[in-house]
Amino acid sequence: MKYSIEGGTLPVVICTMDAGEAMITERGSMSWMSPNMKMETTSNGGIGKALGRMFAGEAMFQNRYTAQGAPGLIAFASSFPGSIRAFDIAPGNGMIVQKSAFLASETTVTLSVFFQKKLGSGFFGGEGFIMQKLSGQGTAFVEIDGHAVEYDLAAGESMVVDTGYLAAMSESCTMDIVTVPGVKNMLFGGEGVFNTVVKGPGKLILQTMPISAVAGSLRSFFPSAK
């Protein structure tokens, strides 16, 4: 499989595949394709994994597209202005990504729920922080909201991130959710109640325009429902 990412801040990844090669994607992610691409809807691992994907913000079922009889082409466009990043997933080199970030991948990549249990006190009653994990072997494509900023964290090095701005991190990184110190800061600082602390070693990718922040900015411009 070969690919190119085009479109700037309105990106699309265009994949060209040899006969017999296949891609897995979320429902509705395919934008255009050559006529010899065969689509098959699958649970991709059984009902247990399907439920896990739903818990992580994805659809229970995925679509598998296979090039039949000749090389094929398929394109996956981002659902929001931003970036598409390609990750080379390998054993011991998986990625943890934000909920609903998965766009498409080779069929040898596994998408599962990542449940962060080690959390600071008071966060959602201790239920945890749900993200997605990409493991296995192959290339995976992920949506980033806005521009992507990347850091390589050394062992013990950390970054404090407003929770919505965390796009992806290496599986070797650790993460904790902490409360903003001081009641006055929480109530009047305008930065929310919680921050995410990501500690290396590993790669950290942040995003500049989370969908949640955009929705909050636009909310005042829409009339409330009566």
How do residues 84-136 score in pLDDT, each as one tens digit? Answer: 999 999 999 999 999 889 999 999 999 888 876 554 534 443 334 688 999 99
Position 77 confidence tier, pLDDT thresholds 50, 70, 90: very high
Of the listed ranges 66-75, 109-118, 197-206, the least confidently predicted one is: 109-118
- Residue 1, pLDDT > 90, answer yes
Number of H helices, E strands in the chain: 3, 19
CA–CA separation, 25 and 27 (whole Å):
7
Q: Tokens 């995003």 appear where?
A: 207
Percent residues over pLDDT 70 in the chain: 78
Position 51 confidence tier, pLDDT thresholds 50, 70, 90: low
Segment 53-61 shows an average pLDDT of 56
Torsion 209-210-216-219 (CA) sign: positive
Give 179's contacts (C-beta < 8 A, 6+ positions apart).
Answer: 120, 121, 122, 123, 186, 193, 194, 195
Helix (H, G, I), strand (E, B) or coil at 169: strand
Helix (H, G, I), strand (E, B) or coil at 180: coil
More confident residue, 215 or 83: 83
Helix (H, G, I), strand (E, B) or coil at 214: helix
Tokens standing for residue 108: 């040898």
pLDDT score, position 106:
97
Torsion 98-213-127-155 (CA) sign: positive
pLDDT score, position 185:
43
Amino acid residing at 94: G
More confident residue, 71 or 178: 71
How do residues 170-200 score in pLDDT, each as one tens digit? Answer: 999 998 888 766 544 444 444 556 788 999 9
CA dihedral 182, 188, 191, 194 (to 10 degrees): 40
Helix (H, G, I), strand (E, B) or coil at 126: helix
Q: Tokens 């069929």 appear where?
A: 107
Predicted TM-score of the model (pTM) = 0.82
Q: Tokens 């239920």 appear where?
A: 127
Cα–Cα nearest to 10, from 81, 63, 86, 89: 81
Strand-pair partners of 179? 194
